[in-house]
Amino acid sequence: MIRVGIVGATGYTGVELLRMLSTHPNAKVSVVTSRAEAGRQVSDLFPSLRGVCDLVFSDVNPDELAANCDVVFYATPHATAMHHAEALLARGVKVIDLSADFRIRDQATWEKWYGVEHASAHLIPQAVYGLPERNRAKITSADLIACPGCYPTSVQLGFAPLLEAGVINAASLIADCKSGVSGAGRKAAVGSLLCESADSIHAYAVSGHRHLPEIKQGLGDFAGTEVGITFVPHLTPMIRGIQATLYATLTAECDLQALFEARYKDEIFVDVMPAGSSPATRTVRGSNVCRLAVHRPQGGDTVVILAVEDNLIKGAAGQAIQCMNIRFGFNEAEGLSLVGLMP
């Protein structure tokens, strides 16, 4: 039984970590932190966890985390984990960061997009990008795991088979993505208010979203070369879920359905749907599954990939637990055998 700490456990991804880890047969949460809620019972803030979690939130204390945890999840905004990771790693504690602090390999690029100086740039080279469908072997021995963002997960899994096979023009990709409001986090913000987000959909960060350099880096790894991509995110009036509609131009003939099925046949959390399908976000709500469908409209040279995921699960907390399972040699599905909620 491994001991788990969660820093920033009051956010949406933090409570999802608590919910899923409560059923994990080989992991037990021992420390949960929150500066704002220190001293408060977890179940007081999250009544859904009554009878499941009897812990009390504490302030962040690296010594307490190191003494009581084998692995620590950082479910925090960017620029938090980078201040703590070194001290934990030095004491043998594994760090799984759900923020963006260690996802981007180039320090200057990270600092440009996140607007602060990186406090632990020397750790970036040892961080393993936590996309199991690409880096499973590296994750098995990683001490510092940088979990992918929600948009980058769906975009990379959708484009990966085509880029690896070299059958599309990697210089002109398009990712048209829609996300539920929970993607903005659990905070008071005008844009997240019901009256502002309901009955409406709008694009944002069209000139450049912080996930763009991560997406380009990941797709470049699959392609073996630099890629060009236009990424436009949209906010939709739903609580959770991501729909990514991806476009590329074919440069070689191939059986697209067979290509996708072969690439993901051994991936338990990627579901390639039958030809002609159109996956819906509600089919993956509450699950760790990314569901894909591939199309070639009118038999032309454009390929369209549809990808749906729960942004809080496969796009965040579930994928982090998947990485933990791989790192500690557990069955990859432990704590994650969750069927999507219907309706």
- E strand or H helix at 319: helix 318-327
Distance, in Å, from the CA atom of 243 to the CA atom of 291, rounded to the nearest integer, reads 10
- For residue 9, give every residue at least 6 positions away whose Cβ sits within 8 Å of its Cβ, in sequence order, or none: 15, 17, 18, 32, 33, 34, 42, 57, 75
Active-site position among 69, 150, 290, 323: 150
Burial class (CB in 10 A: 0-12, 13-18, 19+), 86: middle
Q: Max alpha carbon distance in the chain (Å)?
A: 61
Q: Which two tokens stand for residue 63?
A: 């010594």
Question: Catalytic: 195?
Answer: no
Burial class (CB in 10 A: 0-12, 13-18, 19+), 312: buried
Q: Distances in Å between the alpha carbon of 108 and those of 111, 141, 161?
A: 5, 27, 30
Q: Are 309 and 242 in contact (CB under 8 A)?
A: yes
Q: Are 256 and 274 in contact (CB under 8 A)?
A: no
What is the distance between the terminal CA atoms of the chain, rounded to a whole angstrom?
A: 35
- For residue 15, give every residue at least 6 positions away whose Cβ sits within 8 Å of its Cβ, in sequence order, or none: 9, 46, 48, 49
Q: Are 323 and 138 in contact (CB under 8 A)?
A: no
Active site residues: 150
